[in-house]
Structure formats: C-alpha cells, structure tokens
Amino acid sequence: MLSTVGRALRNSSTPKTLFVGTRCASTEATFEVAQCKLHKLEQGPATTVTCTREDALKYYRQMQTIRRMETTAGNLYKSKQIRGFCHLYSGQEACCVGMENSITPEDSVITAYRAHGWAYIRGISVHGVLAELIGKKTGCAQGKGGSMHMYAKNFYGGNGIVGAQVPLGAGIAFTQKYLNNGNICITLYGDGAANQGQVYEAFNIAMLWKLPCIFVCENNGYGMGTSVERASYSTDYYTRGDYMPGLRVDGMDVLAVKEATRFAKDYVLKNGPLLIECATYRYSGHSMSDPGTSYRTREEIQEVRQTRDPITSFKQKLLETNLVTEDEMKKIDQDVRKEVTESEKLAIADTGPPLEDMYDHIYVQPEADFKVRTCDPVTMVASR
C-alpha cells in the first residue's frame, strides 16, 4: 500500500506526506521528499524517507536550537557584545541537521565561515558557541577563534578564507583513506566559493585518489551581495565537478538532506568523491554589516520564510502525520528558548580570557625557555 502511494507521489512536483497511522504518537512515519537532480549518477537517493518519532523530535529540537542561537547571536551583535565577523546560519538549519544525522561522530566535517550551526551540531554547546562569539575564556576556542574559528572533535572549523577549507577537507578524507578507518569527511563551501580555483584543484586530486569525501555546496543564493546568477556562468553547482558525480537536494527539507547524505556516505566509501548541492537560503545578510536588502527584495525573504522555511515545513509534516503533537513541539520551543537564554546569560557573565593565556598555543610543545615578544619592546612572556 505504502509503495503504491509512494510511486504515485514520486512524479508530483510537490512532495507530500505519507501517513502511516492516524492516531497521535505513531512510532514512525514515511515521508515523500523531492527527487534529487542527478549528475553522472544512475541512481539517486530514495524519495521516501522513514523517520521515527524520537528522531523527528531530535531534528526539530536541533533546528530550533540553531535558529534561536543565531537570533540571539544577532541580537548580541547589535548590542555590541559580539565583535568583528558574525555570519548567521538562520534558514540553512536543515543542511547541517540533516547531514549530521546521517554520519557518525567518527566522520569529519569542515566548513567555511558560516560555522555556528555546524559547531553546535558537532558537539559544542550553545554556551560554548555564544561564549566564543562574545570572546570569553569559556568559549569553544577560549576566545581565540571567534565566529569563524570553532572546532570540535572531528570538526575542523570554521575557515575565514573563501574556498581554503575545500583542499583541507580533501586532506582530512586523505587521512581517513590512509588509515583505512571507514570514515568520511563532509567538506562544505558556499556558492561564492564555488568559483575559487583551489576548489577544482581539490576536486581533481580527490577524484584521482578516490578520497572518501562528500563535497557540499551550500547554495544559499548569494555570495555576499552577489546573486548566483551574477557570479556563476553555471549555477548548476551539482554539475560543476564535471567528472565528479553530483546531486542537487532540497536543502530546506531536513529529511531530504538526511537521505541524500546517507546515500552519499555509502557512495563515497565505495567510489570516491561525490558533490552535493544543497539548495538553501539565508535569511540574514551575508554578515552583520549587511542588511541583506540591496541585492534582493524583502518580499523574496518573506516568501521563503512563508513557503520554504525548513523548521515550519518540518513542523507541518510532523503534525500532518501525527508523529508529534503541537504541544510537544511547543514544549521543545520553550525548552530551547530557556536553554539559549540561560546560555546567553552565562556567556555574558563569564570572564574574558586572562592576558596570560594570550601567549599560549602558538606552538605545540614549545621549548621550556620559549618566550614571546609582546608589544612592549622589553617584555618577553613565557608561552605554553
């Protein structure tokens, strides 16, 4: 019965929800997701995805936490508690949540400068992210990294140089292949970086050496203030690997992203690299200095929020299938708000990094007598 319905819906332009049960608190449900566009692939990811109640609650909570955390970060920036760069992930939550839930903690991830959501999903607490943004000792990089340089176990940043993380990610995948440990690396970049030369140098080597790397182009429509059409001769980013197979997935649908990533992990372990274009959208400007309205209309942002929002649309699906109740999601919203608010308060109250920490971590295992020159020409400080 299910498969019949699935086939019927597969060709429809709008993915629909399949009902497994009509009573509240079903244990799982199967959802139709949009078919991926494929490049040099015979078969793509499945178009039906089964999700347990437990997982649905988890994905919802993770996406809401990132949304709330980013809203808070935006406010902290406006109140001048966060300095410098601050690139928000709001609108793109389904990408990192969908991907993380198809890999293991032993798999690796490296991304670009829009890193807060990824840092959180890879294991840094909301407090760890916010404290880093405010520049506190309790931040995930002890206040030394900031918005673009957050790290966790098997999460290698956070990179402030557009495109530089792509060869690095291929190198992480090289290590996984060298050690033959069965793990993969997800290497993310944006539609802006998709025109950088080193991306293609990395693609070439990754294909030659069959590295277990999923390259992911998070296409949010704009590289800073330039739309993809104005920056890229070809905006079919999933085909831009040329000889590298690719697929375009709806990056606003967490289940579609999860299924595409499951497919991709299996693929890269057997065959070598695969390119996923994650079609997504960012609500905020490129960074905090960008109101995000000179190169796109407010109506466009409003329309995406109303019709394609990754959280709202997921919520709708969960309600339609009776997999999760409205009350349960309200409870999660409240919990998330509380967690983020408390983390924010804690981060604001935390102390800043002490000056004596400043000279540490320049070298691994420095010589016992290694001293660092300070701004004062006659003062040298020991470094650990």
Partner 1 sequence: MADWWKTTADNILKVPLKSFNKQFSTTTVRAGSQLTVRDALNAAIDEEIKRDDKVFLLGEEVALYDGAYKVSRGLHKTYGDKRVIDTPITEMGFAGIAVGAAMAGLKPICEFMTFNFSMQAIDQVINSAAKTFYMSAGQVPVPIVFRGPNGAAAGVGAQHSQCFASWYSTCPGLKVLSPFSSEDCKGLLKAAIRDPNPVVFLENEIMYGTSFDMSDEAMSEDFVIPIGKAKIERQGNHITLVSHSRYVGHCLEAANELAGQGVECEVINLRSIRPMDEETIVKSVMKTNHLVTVEGGWPQCGIGSEICARVIESQAFNYLDAPVLRVTGADLPTPYAKQLEDNSFPQTHNIVGAVKKSLNIS
Q: What is d(CA 313, CA 324) in angstroms, rounded to the nearest whole number?
A: 13
Per the DSSP assignment, residues forming a β-bridge with 31 are: 17, 49
Closer Cβ to partner 1, 55 or 360, answer by number? 360
The span of 224-232, 318-326, 330-338, 363-371 binding partner 1 (CB under 8 A) equals 363-371
Check if the beta carbon of residue 353 is closer than 8 Å to that of residue 135.
Answer: yes
360 touches partner 1 by CB under 8 A: yes
Binding-site size for partner 1 (CB under 8 A) equals 46
Give the shortest CB-159-to-partner 1 separation in angstroms. Answer: 7
Closer Cβ to partner 1, 77 or 151, answer by number? 151
Closer Cβ to partner 1, 364 or 375, answer by number? 364
The span of 216-224, 322-330, 339-347, 361-369 binding partner 1 (CB under 8 A) equals 361-369
201 touches partner 1 by CB under 8 A: yes
Closer Cβ to partner 1, 45 or 146, answer by number? 146
Closer Cβ to partner 1, 207 or 329, answer by number? 207
DSSP string covering 113-176? S--HHHHHHTT--HHHHHHHHHT-TTSTTTTSS-TT---BTTB----SSTTTHHHHHHHHHHHH
374 touches partner 1 by CB under 8 A: no
Q: What is d(CA 345, CA 317) in angstroms, rounded to the nearest whole number?
A: 34
Closer Cβ to partner 1, 12 or 175, answer by number? 175
The span of 7-15, 56-64, 97-105, 139-147 binding partner 1 (CB under 8 A) equals 139-147
Sites for partner 1 among residues 105-124 (CB under 8 A)? 108, 110
Q: What angle do CA 318, 338, 333 make, to 5 degrees?
A: 15
Give the shortest CB-187-to-partner 1 separation in angstroms. Answer: 9
Per the DSSP assignment, residues forming a β-bridge with 29 are: 51
Per the DSSP assignment, residues forming a β-bridge with 108 are: 185
The beta-carbon contacts of 59-62 under 8 Å, at least 24 apart in sequence, are: 59/97, 59/98, 59/101, 59/254, 59/255, 59/258, 59/314, 60/311, 60/314, 60/315, 60/318, 60/324, 60/329, 60/332, 61/332, 61/335, 61/336, 62/93, 62/97, 62/100, 62/120, 62/121
Sites for partner 1 among residues 23-82 (CB under 8 A)? none
The span of 30-38, 59-67, 296-304, 367-375 binding partner 1 (CB under 8 A) equals 367-375
What does DSSP assign to residue 19?
A: P
Record the tokens describing residue 294, joined without a space: 């000179």
Neighbours of 24 (CB within 10 A): 11
The span of 195-203, 258-266, 295-303, 318-326 binding partner 1 (CB under 8 A) equals 195-203
- Quickly tell me which residue has 């296409």 as its tokens: 219
251 touches partner 1 by CB under 8 A: no
Length of the chain: 384
Identify the three-state secondary structure at position 87. Answer: coil
Among 149, 258, 282, 317, interactor with partner 1 by CB under 8 A: 149
The contact mask relative to partner 1 for 160-179 (x = CB under 8 A, - = no) is xx--x-xxxxxxxxxxx-xx
Among 1, 364, 368, 375, interactor with partner 1 by CB under 8 A: 364
Bridging pattern class, strands 185-190 and 213-219: parallel
Give contact residues for partner 1 (rule: CB under 8 A).
Answer: 108, 110, 141-145, 149, 151, 156-161, 164, 166-176, 178-179, 197-198, 201-202, 204-205, 208, 360-365, 367, 370, 372, 377
